[in-house]
Amino acid sequence: MRRKRLAAALIGAGFLVVQIASGCGAAQQSEAERLQTEAKRLQQGFVEADTRASKAAIEAAEALGEAERLRVAYDEAKDRAAEAISEASDAESRSEDAITRAEQAIAESKKLQEALESAMTAADTRVSEAYEAEKKATQAMEEAAAAVVEARAEAAKGIADAEAKANAAISAAETNAAQRIAEAKAEASEGIAGAEERANTAISSTEIGAAQRIAEAKTSAADAIANAEASAAGAIAEAKAEAESAISSTEASATGAIAKALSVPTTTTVPPCSFSRSIPEVLPSVFRVKSEVGMGTAFYIGNNEFVTARHVVEESASVTLTNSSATLNALRVWSDAQYDVAILSGSGGDISALQLRRTSTVRPGQEIAAVGFPLISASLASATSGLLSRISAVPALGEGVFLQTDAAVNQGSSGGPLVDKCGEVVGLIVAKAVSVSGDEGPEIAVEGIGWAIPSDSVLEVLNRYHS
């Protein structure tokens, strides 16, 4: 509408100029032409201005459209921001709830940890009490066995004394009976002799009277002998009865003493030995050995003394003992000349000593465990279980007999203890078989063959060390 009004005005202006030009003289014609030219220029300017105005209107419309689009985008962004703020608020609430639940879980975990530690402490206490009870029971059994031996010895002595008394009484009764029989026979002989003498001197008497007297004398003698024998039999029977009574009484006393010695209070339950209880008690007494010639294992036996294999330390002047609880320096290294055994002197402190068990009490087929520091660099020793395969000589390893086992042993295990299910040391680990070869065939790898020096040989070395 604006553009139409502008064009009408320009057309009117041109018509006016033409009219003015036609009514004027020649003088004014040039001025009219100038004005006409100016009018055309202005008309052209108005056209250009109208074009620019149209373009500006279009651009303004586009700007308005873009502004509208931006407003819509702004509204959408504002809505999304509101939703994000809402979600953030919800997330914050959930986060606070999660933090609260996490704190509650942590508190509950601490309670459970405290309960677990308390339970483990109680379990350790009960295990210690059970182990002490087992030791006391073992001691009681040993005392009972000693009491049985003593009671049996006393019973045997009492029985021997009773038998000696019975034999003496029987001998005395027999002697007394024999004496009485001899006296009866003597009296009978005297009676017979007197009767015969009286019969001979009384020749005037009839033979019937003499014979009757002789018969009466013989009858009297026989009665006397029978009475003596009966008396002797009675005395012998009484002596035997007294002896049997004494023997029975002695046997009853011995049986009572044996039963009393063997009796164990029923209120005490002695749990059987097991690796699950003994190994945790053995491990703190086992140390890694580092010497100038290599590494191995050692274990504490009390009196500030440790035992290891001789080949682990050889002639080293410096030896270090390490486990999870202590690091010690050996003050003295002593190697035995006969067996692959070495004694290390060092401060044992509060370390529990391992006990050596006599080899005569172990048998092939018995369960054992090898304890040591094989290969890996650990602060606490490890244990592998197996069987005691056999006890025999192995000339390639040295003098005496060796304990063969299928418990896994490796480099670093040398010097470690071979223990039974009660945690007592039955041997000292010294070697394992890696491969075997025949006279012509190739070497064959082997597994499950290790050897240990028996505890009896270790005790022999300790006696030499202390002498």
Residue 310 lies in a domain: yes
In this structure, of 88-92, 121-125, 163-167, 461-465, the range with the lowest mean pLDDT score is: 121-125
pLDDT of residue 13: 43
Same domain, 236 and 323: no
Region 243-257 average pLDDT = 63
Are residue 323 and residue 399 in the same domain, yes or no?
yes
Q: Could you give the CA distance from residue 250 to residue 252 in angstroms, rounded to a whole number?
A: 5
* Helical spans, DSSP H, in 283-358: 310-313
Residue 158 included in any domain: yes
Q: How many folded domains does the chain comprise?
A: 2
CB burial readout 427-465, b (16+ within 10 A) else e? bbbbbbeeeeeeeeeeeeeeeeebbbbbbbbbebbbeeb
Domain boundary among 215, 237, 262: 262
Measured in whole angstroms, how far is the alpha carbon of residue 251 from the centre of its chain? Answer: 47
The band of 296, judged by pLDDT with boundaries at 50, 70 and 90, is very high
Q: Exposure of 192 by Cβ count < 10 A (0-12 exposed, 13-18 middle, 19+ buried)?
A: middle
The answer to whether 421 and 273 are in contact (CB under 8 A) is yes
Structural domain includes residue 76? no
Under 8 Å between Cβ of 167 and 247: no
In the predicted structure, residue 466 carries a pLDDT above the cut 60: yes
Of 376 and 331, more confident: 331
Give the residue carrying structure tokens 């025999």.
392
Contact 448, 406 (CB under 8 A): yes
Residue with more model confidence, 7 or 104:
104
Two structure tokens written together for 380: 């606490």
In a domain, 443, yes or no: yes
Q: What is the pLDDT of residue 103?
A: 81
Longest dimension (CA), the chain: 253
Q: What is the pLDDT of residues 75-86, one digit of tens each?
A: 888 888 888 888
Residue 409 has a CB neighbour count (10 Å cut-off) of 27
| pLDDT attached to residue 14 | 46
Give the end of a domain, one of 236, 262, 288.
262
**Least confident residue range of 156-165, 250-259, 426-435, 446-455:** 250-259
Residue in 302, 300, 296, 344 with CA at minimum distance from that of residue 326: 300
The total number of residues written for the chain in this structure: 467
Within 10 Å of residue 394's Cβ, how many Cβ atoms?
Answer: 16
Contact of 374 with 413, CB cutoff 8 Å: yes
Distances (CA, A) of 130 to 123, 125, 142: 10, 8, 18
Integer CA distances (angstroms), 282 to 83, 290, 300, 327, in order = 66, 20, 10, 17
Residue 383 has pLDDT above 70, yes or no: yes
Range of the domain at 255: 135-262
Q: Does a structural domain hold residue 338?
A: yes
Judgement on whether residues 249 and 311 belong to the same structural domain of the protein: no
Last-in-domain residue among 262, 286, 319: 262
Residue carrying structure tokens 């197996």: 386
Residue 404 sits at φ, ψ, to 5 deg, of -95, 135
Examine the pLDDT at 445 and tell me if it is beyond 90.
no
Q: Using 50, 70 and 90 to split pLDDT, how confident is the model at 53?
A: confident
Closest among 381, 427, 373, 379 to 400, alpha carbons compared = 427
Residue with tokens 């001789």, as numbered in its chain = 310
Q: Helix, strand, or coil here: 399?
A: coil
Q: Would you say residue 21 lies in a domain? A: no
Query: How does strand 382-393 pair with strand 342-345?
Result: unpaired
Q: Kindly state whether residues 258 and 193 are assigned to the same domain.
A: yes
Mean residue pLDDT across the chain: 77
- Please give the single-letter amino acid code of residue 14: G
Range scoring the smallest mean pLDDT among 71-80, 359-368, 432-441: 432-441
CA distance 339 to 307: 12
Q: What's the CA gap between 43 and 8, in Å, rounded?
A: 11
pLDDT for the residue 83: 86
Same domain membership, residue 290 and residue 254 = no
Looking at the fold, whether 253 and 367 belong to one and the same domain comes out as: no
Collapsed DSSP state (helix, strand, coil) of residue 327:
strand
Answer yes or no: do 187 and 327 share one domain.
Answer: no
Is the same domain home to 141 and 162? yes
Residue 316: give its domain's CATH number. Answer: 2.40.10.120
**208 plus 279 within the same structural domain:** no
pLDDT of the residue at 65: 86
Cβ-Cβ contacts under 8 Å for 435 (sequence gap 6 or more): 443, 444, 445, 446
